[in-house]
Each structure stands twice: as C-alpha cells, then as structure tokens.
Structure 1
Amino acid sequence: MQDQFNFDHPPFNTLSPEQRQDVLDQTDIAYFRRGETILRPGQLVDALYIILKGVVEERHAERNEIYAQYTTDDLFDIRGQFDGECRHGYVALEETLCFVLPTQAFLTLMTDNPDFAAWFQQDLQGRQQVAGPQKNLSEFILTRIDNGNIQPAMVIDGQTSLYQATLLLKSHHLESLIVTHDGSFGMLTGTDLLYGAVLEERPGTEPVHRLASFNLISVQKGDFLFNALMLMIRHRIERVAVKEQEQLVGILEMTQLLSQFSTHSHVLGLRILRAETIDELAEAAATLTMLVENLHNNGVRLPFIMKLLASLNEQLMRKAFEFAFPARYHQRLALMVLGSEGRGEQILKTDQDNALVLEEGLTETEIRPYAAQFSRHLERLGYPPCPGKVMVNNPEWARDIGAWQRQIEQWVHQNSPHSHMQLAILSEPHFIAGRESLVRQLQRQLLEAVQGRELLLSEFAAQALRFHTPLTFFGDIKHSEQGLDIKRGGIFPIVQGVRALALEQGLTDTGTLERVRLLTERHIFEPDFADNLSAALILFWQLRLERQLARGGDGLNQRIDPAALPRHHRDLLRHALHVVKKFKQRLEIHFQIRIL
C-alpha cells in the first residue's frame, strides 16, 4: 500500500528520489476503528501520521474543545515531533488508514532537506512560497538596474550645436544625449532634434540646451527594473537617467528594459499615452485582462501585478478625464478613485468608484455635462456603472471642498451603518487628475474628523465582523452549493479591520498591505502576525483572480469552490481563514466590540 503515498503533496514533493525511497522503506500502515483514540494528551510521540483515508479530529480533552479535523493527505501531530509529547487528543471519526513515519526519520528529513524543513518551520507566508515557486517572469521583476542593463550616458556641453549633436547620435547609434548647462543635467532625444529642425525650423548652429529637457527623471543604480518601468509609465516617458548616489552613470531605455520583459505591457502603456480618441483608448483598455493573465501565468506575484495594473488604470482614467473635461477646469477640480481602485487592489475591472472635489466657487451644475461624459467614457473602457452610484455623474459624489467637509461631519455625527459605509468609501482616495491638493485637503479633513472618536471607530471596526468566517465548528472549510464567497469570508474582514486601525492611527496610505506594514512599525501588530495577515490577503486575491480568469475575466465573481482546489491550496486556504478568525478576535479586544 506504500505505492499510494502521495509525493505530489507538499512538503513531500520537495524530497529527492533517494529520500522518497527512504520514506517508503521506513513507513508503516496503521488502521484505526471509528471512535478509536490515536493519540492522548501527554503521550510520548514517536511518529508522524499522514492520513491515507478517513477523518481524524483534534480535541482538547478537559475543555472538550475541538481544534480541527484532518483528512486525506493531512499530517498530525506535527507539534509533537518537536515537543516530544502530544498536547491534545486525536480521535478517528471513521475508519481511518494512516501512514506512520517514525519521528527519527522525520527529523532526519528536516536536517537533510531545507525545503522540507521550511514547510514545517515557516508560517503561512513561507508555505505559500514553498507551494507556489515563481517562474521566469519574476526574475525580471526582481532584476536590479546594473551595468548589464543600462547604456553609458554620452554627456555633451549645452553649447554644442544641433548639427553636431545629430552627428553624435547617428555615429554612435544612440537615441538620446545628456546635456549639461548651468550646472544642471538635461536630456536631448532624437525626437527633440527632429521636431526642432523640421517643425520649429531651428538653425543647425543653435545650442542644444534650448531644446533639452532639464526636468530629468532618474532612478538609482541598484533599484528594481520594475520600478523603472513604473516610473516611465507614470511620467509618460521612454527613458530615465541612472544615478549612483548623485553621480550620473547611464541611461535606461524603455526598449532595453523591455527586451527582458516578455508581456509587452510597455506597448499598452504607449498606446494609452498616444490615444487621440476614446475608441483608441478603448482598444488599449480591452487588452488589460490579457496582460493580467499573461503576468499571472508567468508566475509574477500579485502585489507586482496590482502595482502595474494600478498604474495602467490610472493612465486610462487620466486620459479619459482629459477627453471629457475642458482644460480650463483641470486646475479647478480633482478626480479621485475610491474603493479597491483607491487602494490599488483592483486587478480585473469591476464597477466605477470615483468622485470629484471642486474648488470653492465651482458648482456641480457647471461641470455636470463633463462629469456625465467622463462616466460614459469609463463605461466605454469596460468599467460598468457602480450599483451604488458612487460616480462623478452623481451630484452626491461631486462637491466643492467646503461641501465635502460638511458632509464628512454629518456622516461622523450620524454614526450609522450607512454613514460608516460612506466614510469607508471616502477614506481611501487616490488622486488621478486635476489639482491634487484638493484630494489631500479632503483626506486631512476626514482623518481629523474621526480622530479620538472611539465609539465611531469601534462601530466602524465592527463591520469587519459582519460576515461569518467560513469555517466549520471543527475548524475545516465550510462548503456550500454556491461556493465560498472569498470577498466576504476573507478579503473584506482584513481590509475593513485594517482600514479601521489605519483611521485610528491617522495613516494617509490607502493600500492594505502598506497599512499593515505601517501598523507593524507602530507596534499594533507583531511582525509574525503581520506577515501572516498579509500572506492570507494575498492568497485570497490569488484564489479569486484564478477563479475570475477561469470565468473569462469576470471581475465581479467572488466565489470559489474549495473542493476543486488542489489539496495543498485547500490547506493554505484553511490556514488563511484561521488567520482571519484570529484577526477578528484581536479587533474585538482592541476596539472593545460587544458581539450580541
């Protein structure tokens, strides 16, 4: 029966052929009748049990408390392998067959195989890394800027003529030059020379400093290539200067960078930048799901995917804003996105969540036609209308800064489920276009309005407990015909709970993972718990994304079928849901929430 040992299941999939044979040679089979006690509290542990068939329950004998249930491919008692004795009781709930691996053989594997040991010694975050090794594209994500991927910068004096600069570009096969003038560095591209010579009819003897751009965007040598790509997309440029401390050492070109990047996301960024009509913009937006699928299939981690998608969505919306609103309004109002888009956590398009902040004196009536046009543009780009009408074409979400302040104060004093929801929506603004200072002012007003309001924050945090964690009484994943709602059961409790803690602490960062990091720095979370909480959230995102991609990119689908998951993914999901359960308990204590 040893040939039925599952070496595809972590952590046994990390074993070498020789180690697998040793396991088979040293493993016995044990049979337990229904109701039979396998291990008792205080009993010396001399073996690790791996279930071949059946169900085993872990219990606390004195308190009659049930900790968990184990079934096919599950392991117990892992803690006993290190402690030497069993803390809880283990009882077979039905006829059960187990592989029995002697503790000494188990400890030998721990010593000889670091990957095998990591599975037991690390927590949820570590187990995800063992269960899901990253593939080729992640090598790009983690590649740093060095001499191998930058080109030396050719530096010329600002008094060099346009004619001489053109000869240098041609003879050295360059796309750009660095120009020095009055102690500053600037960049001159072949396109600058072309426009200057042809469109502006500048003479060849004119000095190059008059054409160079001295608002130089730079990155540090040693930074990640991925961050350079984000910088280029955000600033709509195709090259950046590379510095080592303050010294200029080279140039990183978009074409060079992307020779190592196989997903062609740069093409999408450039198409967005160069779109001249809403139809052209829509054609670019239609490829976003394909980009996500490509990145995901190549093993890129979700935080990187989300960062890239947030930048591209921002570019799409900024371009749509420019199409919809006349230039005369661009510095008189600010467009912001809210919800998951505001947190930078939306991967596939869901519904619109956006709002406008107007300067004093500018009325919603005046900009209403343009706001309506913007909402239509977003719908054309694949963002369906928000069912709750949190959109700029709704006067409730397009106010001047004074009206916003009065509305915030009203919501704070109402202290109702509706006002909590509105404050939650508004608490995560991300500036897209217009005058950024208006969004920053609004955010400060909200944070000041909730500071010190313990009852409000307590009831706000209680929303994280609104949905039951989908675990059975026995600690296993709860199943239903409709599937597990991963948003209600896992994502929302973490996002809402962390949001409440962030508001309490006055944090301006809106991303949940960044908030967890900052809360850890403030000693609200212990580092290990913070790592587990972040890893659980990433796992929920991952499972939801895989489900959505399997359904053709349906960004609104939040349900998964745990039974359809590979065994080790179910283990991770169960562990992650227990992390959520512990987090809720911490929220109850921290905010003194009374559950009736």
Structure 2
Amino acid sequence: MLHLDFTQPPFDVLSLAERQSIRKNTQIRYLAKNEHLTAEELQYLYVVIKGQIEQLLDGEFVASYLGSDHSDQLNNNDWFDSRRLPEPLTENSPNTGASQTYQFRAVEDTLLLQVAGSAVDKISAQNHLVRQMLSDKLPERLKALQQRRHNKTIDPASYNDQQEVQQIMLQPVIDVNLLPVHIVDANNSLYEAASIMTKAGLKHVLVRPLNHLEHRKETRHGTGHLLGILTDTDICRAVSDQQNPATTTCQRYANFNLRTIKASDEIGDALLTMTRYRIHRLPVIDRNGDVVGILGQSDMLAHIGHHSQLISIQIEQAKDLTSLDTAVELIGRYIRAQHQNGVKIGNISRMVQTLNAQVFTKLWQLIVPAEVMKNTCLIVMGSEGRGEQIMRTDQDNALILRDGYTHPDLAQFADTFNHHLADLGYPLCDGNIMMTNPMWRQPLKQFNAQIGLWFKNTDPMHGIYLSAILDGEYVCGDESLLTQVRQHLKVAHRQSDPMFVRQFARAALQFGDVNQWWQKFVPLLGGKSVSEDIDLKKAGIFPLVHGIRTLALENDILDVPSSKNRLKALVQARALTQERADTLLEALEFFMAQRLSVALSTDDKHARQVNPVTLTALERDLLKECLAVVKSFKNQLRQHYQLEIA
C-alpha cells in the first residue's frame, strides 16, 4: 500500500503523533484520464504520486501538479490543497474569487493520496511549521521556502533554532546589548570627558550642546537629535594639535553631525547605516526622542555573527586594483554564505548594494583627483541603483558634471573606471549605459535637457533610458547634482503629455500572459529534457519592477529608486494597499532568490533561466503562485491605464 513520504515537505516537520494522525486520515484516490475531482472531494489535501493534475478556473488553465514520475528528483511529489480559493485578479476586485472554486482534472491516469482537510487543520493549529507551508498567504509560504531552501529534510527539534538565526537581522536594535549613556556638557573640558570615559570603560561620551534647553523648548522633542559625540580619537587629535585638555572644551572637538537610529529599527538597518557611513557607534533613540543606549559596532557584530563590516574595512584599506579585487571576491563569498543561511534576499541585496557602492567609490578615488570628485556625481542605475542586484551583472552607471566644470581627462577617467570594473567582474553594459558613453557623462544642464527629450518618447530607447535614470542612486561625489536631476524629473514629468505614463506602462505587459507562458512547458515536463526554460526576469522580475516604477512615476515618487521603498511610498499615497504591496514585494524577492540559486549552482552569469523540472515541489508551488501575482498585477495595470488586453 502507498504511504506518505514523511521525508518530504510539508510532512517532514511532523511529530510522531502527528504522523500517526495523518496516516489514519489518508486514503488512495485514483483518477482516470480527463476525470475531475467532485465537489465533495474539494475538502482534502492531495499529494500526486503518479500522473498529472491540471488546475482550472472557469475552464482556463491555472497550474499543473506532477507526480514523481514526471520529475528529475526522486519522490519530488507536488501537493495541493483543493480547499484554497482563487485570489482576486486585481486589487480592485476583492470579491472575485468569493463564489468561485478551482477545478481539478487528471491529464492522464493519476494516483493521488487524499488527506482529510480536518486532520490537516488540526495539526496546523498546533504546528506553526505546517501552518506556514500550507498557508493561503503567499508571504507565509515564501518564508517557509526561505527557511528550508538548502535543507532537503528538517529536524523539527532544530528548526526553531535555525529560524531564530535566519530572523536575527529583522530584530529591533533594542535587542542588542547597548552601551550605557554618558553625557557631558559642551563647555566641559576634554580632561573631564576623558575621566568619565576611563571610569566607565568607554571610548566615547555624548556631548550636550550649549543651547540645548532653548532647542528642546522650541522643538518639543527629546534631546537625542541635538547631541554630539566625542571619542578617544578626538581627544588624541586635540593632543596632537598641542591643545591643553584641562582648558579645551568638548565643544571644539565634538562631532554634532550625529547619526542615530530608532529603538524599533531593525538590526539590518543599523548594519547598513554603519557600513554606509563608516561609523562605529549609533545612539539609539526611543519614541520620545531620548537616547536609551549606544549601539556599538563590535557588540552588534557579535550579536549577528557575520562579517560584512570586515569586507567594508578591506575595501576602505585597498590601495590598488589587486587588493580591491580581493574585497570583491569576499562579497561573493558573503552572498553565498548569507543565502545558504536563509537570510532574506532583500536584506542580502541591500547590503550588497552598500558594499558595491564602496567598491565603486574606492575605485573612482584611485583613478581621479580630488578636484574631479568634488565637481561630479557618480551614480549607478538599473538593478544596482534599486538595490536589487546581487550577482555581478552588467554595469549601469553615469557621471553628472557641475555646470561649467570640465577636465581634459574625463573621458579617459571614465574609460579606466568602466574597464577596471569589468576586470573586477562587473561586465560592461551591452546597451552602453555607462559613463564611457558621452550621453551618460554630461553637465547637469545638458543632462536635464536630455531627460526632457526622453519624456517626449519619440524613440523606443527613450523609455529604457528614462527607466535607468529613474533608478539612479548616489555613489560618491557631489550628491546635490543627483538631487537636482531628481527635481528636474518631477518638472519634466509634469510638463509631459498626460498620456506619457500610460505609454510608459506598456513595457510591463510586453512579454504576454504568464499562465499561457507557463502552460507551454507542461507537455515537456514528462520528457527527458526541456527545450526551453522559464525566464525569471521576463516572466516575473521585469513586469513587477517596471509596473511599480510606473506607479511611482505617476505619483511623483522620484526620490527613492528601490522597489521596496517605492511600494512603501505608494501605500502612503494610497495608490496601493499594504497587503497588496507586501505581496508584490514578496513575489519580487522570490524571483530574485531563484535567480541567485541558479547563479550559485551553475555557471550562468545572467542567471535568468530556471528549469521547472529541477525545482522542488514547494518551489514549483510558489513559482505558480508568484506568476499568478504577476498576472494579477498586469491586469491591474491594464485596468488602471486602460490598456488593451494582450
């Protein structure tokens, strides 16, 4: 007699008692070719042992579920919960699936294991791991995949420990062991500050400004944002300046341009801030604006236990291309380690963006004199600008020059920069969207004039160029130049044809319907090889990214290039609901994670293609769900911008 395979998800996290309960409530169901599950049978969880089940909605193909005889992986059986109802096709039609149910038809003679839904519900109520894997909420099922991506079987006893490690970057900074707060007045002497440091065993004190009472009365906020910091390095600097510590005030050497972090912010945000600004301490501010502790770099690193900060230090200390190459290789190892540890792909990508920006900054510093750095702004664009590029794929960069500034060697500097990046493993851009192209190396005035031309949309490439600059993110130099470009983007958009955004949105629909696109692979799944793989970028990433980008443009959200921050701003603008934004972000990060898995397991540098046969049952299920999210989002765009149904 056939039995459930308890080494496969979602059953590999069951206790002995739960397995016995499932066995008692499982029976075999045989479906002949073209036979449907009856209405009474849509109350079960099914596991496909042999054969193939087709899922339909109003006669239209939705998905296919396969037995192990159709998979390259032994015992990799698909499962489905027949009770799950259809998701609404668009955000504006929340009740679309309320009275609808899916239909299930055997494509060939098929053998199923039928598990009573009531038994599954009883176990799910007590076992959160099962509940997460079988949830009707896509983000919950994506968490399940993330937590077990590199684990074929999971020991329930160790699962909670693993989950805790994986979620550590999402913890609030208040969970870290904070350093105590010691505050001196700005008119205290350096000697008095040093005495407090020595007694407290610290290398810093916070400094209260001379007029802090007036400022607090005016702002009605806490004092945290007014404080400065004085470190042992500052005191050493004063001594080297031959200042008398007993008479020199803290005001003179303290730094009042202090970066802080909220107690409720995530550890990952604190790490990004420290890495980006190369600082070692962050005052932690409570909801009243007062400092509750100091987050020290060493304490945080001990808490999270990884080495991105060490990579940052190596980049900073690089003196030539060879030493910079070593740091870049460490970034690759960091990515692999974080992914294998199940860290959320969004956290990895944002940290990689920060580290890459430091690589680009260091390389530019090694190439150009300080005068060029002062009068130009280096930016990255595309997925690198959005913070969604993990592998070292094609460069997208530009150089904005201050109006009136020129240098005879700028073209040579740009060529050296782009080709050195290529030597470091960041390929040259096939579309030539790089600073070696004079179009992407211009003074501010010409840059803005060019943007105005792109909004006229007279050339098919203009939409691509505009997409690139909308994703622009600061790397180094004079950041105000990028700020002015973003301000001009708003002006140029407001002056453009009202139909421009509608045309701009069309690109998100150019690759056709994802369900039809998935269906064409189904007949191939039973063969020994698949002639075409699924293009994760065309089918998933691009429609989501460009659709979100278009909605952001329409709503004048032009100061944040990442899809995550655009979604957050769209929720604030009430252009999307919070639930919709969360689902779109989870689907996008699923496709990004799949691309990373392909890149780490193959020699495919572009890492776009995935063979559905090689995926696990859980991954196939989530791929179908994420493709359904893409279809729903594209339908939403069609309706919102009144585009034809393609």
TM-score between the two structures when normalised by the length of structure 1: 0.89
CA distance in 1, matches of 2:538, 2:335: 23
- Residue 482 and residue 162 in structure 1: after superposition, are their counterparts in 2 closer, same or farther (change >3 A)? same
TM-superposed deviation, 1:339: 0.5
2:246 is the counterpart of 1:205: yes
User: How big is the shift at 1:507?
Assistant: 1.1
After TM superposition, give the deviation of residue 112 of structure 1 in Å. Answer: 4.8
User: Tell me, what secondary structure is at the counterpart of 1:153?
Assistant: coil
Q: How does 1:397-546 map to 2 (within 5 A)?
A: 397-451=440-494, 453-468=497-512, 471-472=515-516, 475=519, 480-508=530-558, 509-546=560-597
Alpha-carbon contact 2:171-2:267 (below 8 Å) kept? yes
With 259-268 and 510-519 compared, the bigger mean Cα shift is at 510-519
Q: Corresponding residue for 1:69? A: 64
Deviations 1:372-424 (A, max 9, x none): 33324433443222222211122111111221222222223243321111111
| Aligned residue in 1 for 2:172 | 144
Measure the CA separation in 1 of the matches of 2:535 and 2:292. Answer: 51
Alignment partners' CA distance in 1, 2:176 and 2:383: 37
Alignment match, 2:26: 27
Q: Secondary structure at the residue paired with 2:174?
A: coil
AA paired with 2:531? E
CA distance in 1, matches of 2:618, 2:259: 45
Does the C-alpha gap of structure 1 residues 79 and 305 become closer, same or farther in structure 2, counting only changes over 3 Å? closer
The answer on 1:247 being equivalent to 2:290 is yes
2:366 corresponds to which of 280, 298, 323: 323
What amino acid maps onto 1:152 in structure 2? P
Residue 258 of structure 2 corresponds to 216
Equivalent in the alignment of 2:275 = 233
CA contact (8 A) 1:69 1:476 kept: no
| Structure 2: gaps of 5 or more residues | 68-77, 87-96, 148-161, 213-226, 525-529
Pair 175,140 (structure 1): closer, same or farther in 2 beyond 3 Å = farther
Displacement, 1:159?
5.1
Instruction: State yes or no: 1:123 paired with 2:167.
Output: no
Distance 1:476 1:51, change over 3 A: farther
Question: Are the aligned partners of 1:238 and 1:253 in contact in 2 as well (CA < 8 Å)?
Answer: yes
Q: Secondary structure at the match of 2:455?
A: helix
Aligned-pair distance for 1:187?
2.3
Deviations 1:418-463 (A, max 9, x none): 1111111122111222222221221232333234634332332221
Change (3 A) 1:194 1:578: same
Cα deviation for residue 342 of structure 1 reads: 1.1
2:401·2:444 contact (CA, 8 Å) conserved in 1?
yes
Query: 1:173-207 deviations in whole A, cap 9, x for unaligned?
Result: 3222334452464322222233333x433344342
Q: How does 1:374-413 map to 2 (within 5 A)?
A: 374-413=417-456
Unaligned runs of 5+ in 1: none
- Three-state SS of the structure 2 residue aligned to 1:205 is coil
Given the superposition, is the C-alpha separation of residues 527 and 256 from structure 1 closer, same or farther in structure 2, using an over 3 Å criterion? closer
Cα distance in structure 1, aligned partners of 2:354 and 2:30: 57
Task: Indicate the SS of the match to 1:187.
Answer: strand
The aligned amino acid for 2:104 is Y
CA distance in 1, matches of 2:125, 2:542: 40
User: CA contact under 8 A between 1:44 and 1:84: conserved in structure 2?
Assistant: no
Q: What secondary structure, in the 3-state scheme, does the structure 2 residue paired with 1:357 have?
A: strand
* Paired positions, count: 588
CA contact (8 A) 1:2 1:24 kept: no
Separation in structure 2 between the aligned mates of residue 212 and residue 85 of structure 1, nearest angstrom = 66
Deviation at 1:214, TM superposition (A): 2.7
Runs of 4+ in 1 over 6 A off after TM superposition: 83-86
Contact 2:43 2:83 in 1 (8 A): no
- Preserved CA contact (<8 Å) 1:77 1:86: no
CA shift digits 1:215-239 (9 cap, x unpaired)? 2222233433322222222222112
Identity, % of aligned positions: 30
Contact 2:238 2:245 in 1 (8 A): no
SS in 2 for 1:529: helix
CA change 1:384–1:164 in 2 (3 A) is same
Counterpart CA distance in 2 for 1:279 and 1:182 is 48
Deviation of 1:526 after TM superposition, in Å, equals 4.0
1:280 aligns with 2:275: no
Q: State the distance in 1 between where 2:100 and 2:259 align.
A: 61
Q: Aligned AA for 1:228?
A: A
Tell me if structure 1 keeps the 8 A contact 2:378–2:476: yes
How far is 1:368 from its partner?
A: 2.4
Q: Confirm or deny that 1:191 pairs with 2:191.
A: no
Q: Counterpart of 2:626?
A: 576
Contact between 1:263 and 1:294, CA under 8 Å: does it hold in 2? no
| 1:52-108 deviations in Å (ceiling 9; x for gaps) | 211223446xx6434433322322522489x99994543322111122234443444
SS in structure 2 at match of 1:287 = helix
Shift, 1:258, TM fit:
1.0
1:469–1:577 CA contact under 8 A, matched in 2: no
Task: Measure the CA separation in 1 of the matches of 2:618 and 2:98.
Answer: 26
- Residue 48 of structure 2 aligns with which residue? 51
TM (norm. structure 2) is: 0.83
